[in-house]
Structure 1
Amino acid sequence: MRRLLVVMVTDFKSQMTMHGTCIFLGLGTNFDREANLVAALQILDSNLQDLHCSNVYESLAIGDGGEPFLNLVVYARTSMELQELNAWLKLVETACGRQIKDPRNQISIDIDLLLYGDLNGNFDGIELPRADVVNYAFVLRPLSEIAPDHVHPQSGFSYAELWCAMQRDTAIGKTSGACALFTSSERA
């Protein structure tokens, strides 16, 4: 029995290694919102493993205004190294019509790398975990939904605990029928 347990644990660990690094991504859009989320999710799903999505939330634009955003958090696994993943995510944004400067403040898709494994610190200009995780409800709420027991590496608190502590009077709300934007039946 003991040997069987050791074999099972060893096999599980090798499967974890084969599946790559655990990542969390924040997605947001305020232009052709449903279509751009679905397009980005289809590209992510075809290139990442074990993709899971939070519910979709609507929030007001920050800064110079613009239309309200739809936001969600994606969990996945990747075999890409950090810099490779970051560059690839920028290509996905471009493929989905992202323009660096849009005078109308229309963002077709914004994909932020929130967490990459257990990395904590600055890695060639990539700050991990991304500060948005604890600063914005439109990131923390869906992250706490998809990974409630996952612990923030700097605070030591779970995302569920951080969400409970955050003032919830921000302009964010779950959209109706949000889960239908991207379902497993749409996956290739």
Structure 2
Amino acid sequence: MAPEAVSAWIGLGANLGDRLATLRTALSAIGALPGTRVQRVSSLYGSAPVDAGGPDYLNAVVQLCTTLAPHALLAQLQAIEQAGGRERPYRNAPRTLDLDILVYGDQVIDTPTLTVPHPRLQERAFVLYPLAELAPALVPAKQLADVAVQRIERIAEPVWADGVA
């Protein structure tokens, strides 16, 4: 019996190197994962780092339909981060690529390696704004109001690889 497909929302971010090229490459790699199909991709957003230094980030959210189990999806995303040059010298360090599972179906997961929904999802404008664009029912208006002081800008015409926008 084949595993059941689940909707998952993944946060993408980069603030080092050629950020747009890195996000395009990551999006293509995510779309090529086994049992995974990209459903929709949010606009690109520019945002100031939160609880960190370094240059501004480019961020987006992608909605997937996947048969990968949550921990298997996490392992695949971490492999894509590694291929994108991700290093983890310290918490919230600037990064070439950051991929986070924000929501995985209606599952609540709390293990040493994975917490879903993402534990800081409600604190981050760079996650909430693109997630609300794709799935407004997942983002209460109060959460958006609570992060309104964080600097974030929707980039009007994002251009994604493979015709996905």
Tell me: CA distance 1:164–1:89, structure 2 relative to 1, closer, same or farther (3 Å).
closer
Tell me: CA distance 1:168–1:69, structure 2 relative to 1, closer, same or farther (3 Å).
same
The 1-side partners of 2:32 and 2:83 are apart by 14
* Partner residue in 1 for 2:7: 22
Tell me if the contact between 1:96 and 1:109 (Cα under 8 Å) persists in the aligned partners.
yes
Tell me if the contact between 2:23 and 2:97 (Cα under 8 Å) persists in the aligned partners.
yes
Q: Please show how residues 71-90 of structure 1 align to structure 2 within 5 Å.
A: 71-90=59-78
SS of alignment partner, residue 73 of structure 2: helix
The answer to whether structure 1 residue 171 and structure 2 residue 159 are counterparts is no
The TM-score, its normalising length taken from structure 1, stands at 0.76
Q: CA deviation at 1:88?
A: 1.0
Tell me if the contact between 1:30 and 1:67 (Cα under 8 Å) persists in the aligned partners.
yes
Q: CA deviation at 1:185?
A: 6.6
Structure 1: stretches of 5+ with no match in the other structure: 1-16, 151-158
* Partner residue in 1 for 2:135: 147
Which one-letter code corresponds to 1:111 in the other structure? L
SS of alignment partner, residue 174 of structure 1: strand
Q: CA deviation at 1:107?
A: 1.1
Q: CA deviation at 1:18?
A: 7.0
Which one-letter code corresponds to 2:163 in the other structure? S
Tell me: CA distance 1:127–1:99, structure 2 relative to 1, closer, same or farther (3 Å).
same
Which one-letter code corresponds to 1:53 in the other structure? V
Tell me: CA distance 1:87–1:168, structure 2 relative to 1, closer, same or farther (3 Å).
same
Q: Please, what is the CA RMSD of the aligned residues?
A: 2.3
- Specify the structure having the higher radius of gyration (Cα): 1
* Partner residue in 2 for 1:68: 56
Match of 1:115 among 89, 103, 125: 103
SS of alignment partner, residue 149 of structure 1: helix
* Partner residue in 2 for 1:46: 32
* Partner residue in 1 for 2:160: 181
Tell me if the contact between 1:132 and 1:139 (Cα under 8 Å) persists in the aligned partners.
no
The TM-score, its normalising length taken from structure 2, stands at 0.85
The 1-side partners of 2:140 and 2:103 are apart by 16
| Percent identical | 28
Tell me: CA distance 1:113–1:107, structure 2 relative to 1, closer, same or farther (3 Å).
same
Tell me: CA distance 1:83–1:53, structure 2 relative to 1, closer, same or farther (3 Å).
same
The 1-side partners of 2:56 and 2:141 are apart by 27
Q: CA deviation at 1:100?
A: 2.0
